[in-house]
Structure 1
Amino acid sequence: MSDLPDGIEEFLGKAGWGGADIDPIPGDASFRRYFRIKSAGGKKAMLMHAPPPHEDPKPFLHVAGWLSDHNMRAPEIYAADAAQGWVLLEDFGDDRMRDWLDDHPAGEAPAYEVAIDALAALHQRPPGPFAPYDMPTYLRETGLLTEWYAPAQGLTVDKAAYEAAWEEALAPMMQRQSPGVTVLRDYHAENIMLLGDPVARAPQGLIDFQDALVGHPAYDLVSLLQDARREVSEDLESAMLDRYRQLASPDHHFEADYARLGAQRNAKIVGIFTRLYKRDEKPRYLDLIPRVWAAMERDLTHPALGPVARWFDSNIPDELRHSGGGTIT
C-alpha cells in the first residue's frame, strides 16, 4: 500500500468506503491516477485522483453533473473532495468500445449506431453552461501543426497565412454554432464504455468529457467517425452520418461544416501526436499519424476548405503528404 497517494484511505473512510480493497489501474497520465475500489460488502467503484495544482477535478464534476441532469449516461458521482483531487464514481467496467470491437467485429455497426443515437440525443438538449468553442480556440488548436509538426519535419512554413486560411475557412460556420450544442471534444471508441451488448441497444457510458465546450454538432461526429485510434471505414462513416441526418435533420451546410471540423481536428491531432513524441517522449502516437493525415487529406478536398488546401499545397511537400505525413524522427 506504500505506493498509494497520501490521503486515499482517509477520503474513502469519509465517503463510507473505509477498509475497501484498493487496486491501482496502470495509466499514461503523469498526475491523474485511477483505482478500482471494492468494499467489504462487494460494492464496486472507481476512484480518480487528480490532485491540484497539476490537475483539477472540478470541470469533470461540473460536466458530469450537467450530463446526468440531462439524462446522458455519465458516471454517477458517489463522493468528491475537489480541493484534494479525489472523485469516487461509478465503475463502468472494462468494456471500452474499442476493445470490445476488437473481439466482436460483427458488432461494429450496432455499436456505432448506439453511439450516434447518443450524440443525436445530446444535441436535442440545450447547450450546457460551458465556454464557447470560439475562433481563437479553433485557431490555437490548428496552430499545433505549425508549432510542432512543421519543425519536426524541418519545414519553414508561413504561419500567418496558415492562421488566415483557417479563419477564412471556419468563419462561415461560426454563426451556425449559436446557440450550439454541448461538445464533449474527445468522443471516440476509447472513451465510450459499453454497459451491455450493443446489438441489444444497451446504453453506452461517457467518460473523459471534462473539457466540454459549446460548439458545432459536427465536431463530436468527426471525433467518432474519423477516429485517430481506430480504423473507421469510409462506408461506415457515410452510413453513420446518414443515420445522424435522419435523427437530427441538420441544415444543408452540414456536409461542409463536417469537412471543416474534420480538417480542423485532424490538423490539431497531428500536432498533438508530434508533441507527445518530441516533448513527452511518447513515440507510440507516431504510428497513428498516417491515419489522421489521410482523413485530413480527404477533408481538404471539400471546397469549403479551399483556403487551407491551398496553404498545404504551398507549404507541405507532396512527398510528406502522400506518405501520411512522413516519418518523424
Structure 2
Amino acid sequence: MELTIRDPIPADAEAFLAQAGWGGAAIVPLDGDASFRRYFRVNGTRGSAMLMDAPPPHEDPAPYLRAARWLDANGLRAPRILADDAARGLVLIEDFGEVRMREYLDAWPADEIEVYRNAVDTLVQLHQLPPGPFTAYGLAEYQRETRLLVEWWCPAQGLSVDVAGWDAAWLAVLAQLLPRQRPGVSVLRDYHAENIMLLGGLEQQGLLDFQDALVGHRAYDLVSLLQDARRDVSPEVEDTMIAHYLSRAGDQPDFRADYARLGAQRNAKIVGIFVRLWRRDGKPRYLDMIPRVWAMLERDLAHPALGPVAEWFTANVPDELRASGGGSYAV
C-alpha cells in the first residue's frame, strides 16, 4: 500500500511500543502492499524491529499471528512476534533487514539458480510437515478467485462475457485436482521474490506475507514462486525448478497438469485483482504488471488440462485483446 498524507503513524503506536519495552523508539513509515496493512521500522535502544498496523475492521492480525507462530514452531523462519495487541491491530515483529530476494537477484543475477533452488527447498521443508492450523483451499475459494477476472478485467475491457460458462469451465478443470490435495500441505499463497528475505547468506530464507495461509495443493506455492507477477522468471528456470522440486519431494501423477491448472487459476485471479486495485482503490501502478501475468496465463492455457477454460477464452475474448497482453487501460 502506498503511503499518503492520510496514512499517519497509528494513534496508539507509541503507547503500544512503550508497553512492549520499546518506549521512545523512532517510528519510520515504509512502503506497504496492496492491502490496508501498513508497516513501520522501529529504531530504539533495543535495536530495530518492525511494527505492523493491521487496522480493524479492514484487517485482522489474528491469522498472521497464528501462521507466524506455527511456522516458527516448525523450524521455518517467520518473523518472531515481539509483542501484539490484536484488538488494536498492532503487532511488533522481528526485523529481517533489507535484503529481499528480488533486489538481491537484480544485483546478482548470476546467483538466480542457487537462490531459486533454496526457495524451492524451503517449500520442500514446508511440505514435509503435517498441514498447519488453516482452513482448506476448497473449490468455492478457487472459484471466488477466478471470478475476479470476469468481475473486474472483463468490464474494464468493455467485454460482455458468459459468466456461467466461465464458472462451469473452471469447475471442470479444478475438480480434477481436488482429490490430489488431500490431506494437503500448508499453502502460504503469496510466496515469491518480494516476500522472501535472505538472512545471513543465500540458504537461510525469511518468510513474509503468509497471513492468508490455507491447506491446499503442493503445486500452489511453487506456481506462486515461479510464475511471479513482479519478476520475470524464464521458462527454462521454471522448468529446472519444477524438476528440482520433484526430485526432492517426489513426483506424483498429474503434478505438472495440476501446476498448469493452478497457474492459470492464480494468474486469472491476479489480473482481476490488479484491475480492481486500479478501479476501486486508485492504485494504477499494478496495471504495469498485467502483461507479464497475462503471458503466463496464456502459457498455462496451452496445457491440455486447461481445455475447457481455453475454449471459453476462444469464445469470449477477442484474439487481438489476448495478443495485446491483456488490453489497455485509460488511467
Q: What TM-score comes out, normalization by structure 1 length?
A: 0.96
> In the alignment, what sits opposite 2:3?
none
Secondary structure, counterpart of 2:175 in structure 1: helix
Among 44, 50, 55, the residue aligned to 2:48 = 44
User: 1:200-220: per-residue Cα shift (whole Å, max 9, x none)?
Assistant: x2x010010000000001111
- Pairwise CA distance, 1:31: 3.7
User: 1:264-290: per-residue Cα shift (whole Å, max 9, x none)?
Assistant: 000111111111111122212111111
Change (3 A) 1:209 1:253: same
> In the alignment, what sits opposite 1:76?
80
> In the alignment, what sits opposite 1:164?
168
C-alpha separation in 1, matches of 2:243 and 2:153: 34
User: 1:206-258: per-residue Cα shift (whole Å, max 9, x none)?
Assistant: 01000000000111111110001000000000110010001100312101000
> In the alignment, what sits opposite 1:325?
326
Change (3 A) 1:223 1:28: closer
C-alpha separation in 2, matches of 1:281 and 1:28: 13
User: 1:290-320: per-residue Cα shift (whole Å, max 9, x none)?
Assistant: 1111111111111111111111110010001
> In the alignment, what sits opposite 1:86?
90
- Pairwise CA distance, 1:8: 1.3
> In the alignment, what sits opposite 2:257?
256
C-alpha separation in 1, matches of 2:79 and 2:262: 28
Aligned Cα root-mean-square deviation (Å)? 1.3
Number of residues of Structure 1 aligned to a counterpart in Structure 2:
324
**After TM superposition, which residue ranges in structure 1, 4 or more long, deviate above 4 angstroms?**
none
Answer whether contact 2:78 2:208 (CA < 8 A) is retained: yes
C-alpha separation in 1, matches of 2:261 and 2:31: 36
C-alpha separation in 2, matches of 1:112 and 1:278: 34
- Pairwise CA distance, 1:37: 1.4
User: 1:88-124: per-residue Cα shift (whole Å, max 9, x none)?
Assistant: 1100011111111111111111111110000011000
> In the alignment, what sits opposite 1:8?
13
Answer whether contact 2:34 2:277 (CA < 8 A) is retained: no
Matched, 1:64 2:68: yes
C-alpha separation in 2, matches of 1:5 and 1:302: 48
Structure 2 spans left out of the alignment, 5+ residues: 1-6
Matched, 1:273 2:274: yes
- Pairwise CA distance, 1:29: 5.2
> In the alignment, what sits opposite 2:4?
none
Q: What TM-score comes out, normalization by structure 2 length?
A: 0.95
> In the alignment, what sits opposite 1:142?
146
Change (3 A) 1:263 1:28: closer
> In the alignment, what sits opposite 1:188?
192
C-alpha separation in 2, matches of 1:30 and 1:264: 21
C-alpha separation in 1, matches of 2:28 and 2:54: 16
Matched, 1:33 2:34: no
C-alpha separation in 2, matches of 1:156 and 1:128: 41
C-alpha separation in 2, matches of 1:157 and 1:29: 27
Secondary structure, counterpart of 2:176 in structure 1: helix
Change (3 A) 1:75 1:166: same
Matched, 1:234 2:226: no
User: 1:40-88: per-residue Cα shift (whole Å, max 9, x none)?
Assistant: 24x2211111121121111100100111111111011011110111111
Secondary structure, counterpart of 1:275 in structure 2: helix
Matched, 1:96 2:100: yes
